Amino acid sequence: MRQHISEDAERRGDAPGGARPYTVDLVARAPAVLGDDVLACVQHGGAAADDDPRRIRVALPVLAGDGVELWRSVLPVRHGRDGDIGWAENGAALFGQLQLPESQLADMDRAVFHAYARIDGFLQRSGYPAWLRVWNFIAGITDGDGDGERYRQFSVGRHKALSLKPGFEHELPAATAIGSEDGGLLIYFIAAARPGRQIENPRQVSAFKYPRQYGPKSPSFSRANLLDWRDGAELFVSGTASIVGHETLHVGEPLAQLDELLRNVQALLEQAGRPLRPEMLKLYLRDPRQLDAVRAHLRTHFGARPVTILRGDVCRRELDLEIEALFRAA
């Protein structure tokens, strides 16, 4: 893999500020063989068909909607493996993934630190130093008590790795952290040559400024990341829940939580200051018995626009659901 972005890519401006270098489609089934234009195929639920490094398997059951994301490139794609990191890039954006088996997570803090440091070093060498969006799927995410909870230990390791760079809190990626049904840890990510613009929510304390009661180190992510491509803006919205300030609201009331998290998403859209429409909506639901009520409630907000709903545990035990989104220029 090349060490720097190609001169051709630089001339085209295919980085935030240039033309958007990919599209994303939701489909019901993953292709048996990935085409040459595919940057990433994110499959929720079913097993991978092969060991193509662009195929990312997320062990969460699909409750509603299409469970496969096909990220296609408008530029030539190269892909391969760098040790335990699978990657694909097109001169403007890079998708990658790293998986750790459960046997490596006895010391979660240490394992996550090394995983994030390993990814960051790979991105620096590859010419894509700017993390844009990260997904983290952690088996037993809320297992353990107090500071020994797995998510808190994950947050410590991530913070240690990202804070190696001065001023890291000003260029944090959008992110999601959800409990998975398989053992181990999956991290997958999008990176570019230049960062987007970090967006925070005035209704919420920034996650990286949470008080000590939520763990030894605050979660290191932005509420959203805005990319101003030449052909229109794109907004990656992090996993967003029913949190105002730093406190969970509407415990035991999933529909009230849904209303609250949608108010948080709207606040992020207002902060972005762009006319944007939803391109992809993904909701994680703790209790499948709430599915019908949640789907009906979503229709009052989004009409017939499809929402993929996955069975997944949120990083706070009192939260019933969480949503993430990708918005595009209207």
Q: Which residues are catalytic?
A: 322
**Pairwise CA distance, residues 268 & 174, whole Å:** 12
Please name the residue ranges forming H helices in 143-240.
Answer: 150-162
**Pairwise CA distance, residues 55 & 58, whole Å:** 10
Q: Taking Cα atoms as reference points, which of 104, 103, 84, 85 lies closest to residue 94? A: 85
Which tokens in the block code for residue 176? 């999601």
Q: What share of the chain is helix, strand, coil (3-state, %, to 5)?
A: 25, 35, 35
Produce one character per residue of 267-305: b if its CB has 16 or more CB atoms within 10 Å, e if not: bbbebbebebebbbbbbbbbeeebeeebbebbeeeeeee
Q: What is the DSSP letter of 1?
A: -
Q: Taking Cα atoms as reference points, which of 153, 165, 235 lies closest to residue 199? A: 235
DSSP 80-118: EEETTEEEEE-SSEEEEEEEE-GGG-SSHHHHHHHHHHH
Angle, alpha carbons 26-287-139 (nearest 5°) = 75
Amino acid at residue number 198: Q
CB 121 within 8 A of CB 129: no
DSSP 300-329: HHHTT---EEEE-B-SSTT--EEEEEEEEE
**Pairwise CA distance, residues 169 & 112, whole Å:** 18
**Pairwise CA distance, residues 295 & 303, whole Å:** 10
Phi, psi (rounded to 5 degrees) for 201: -105, 120
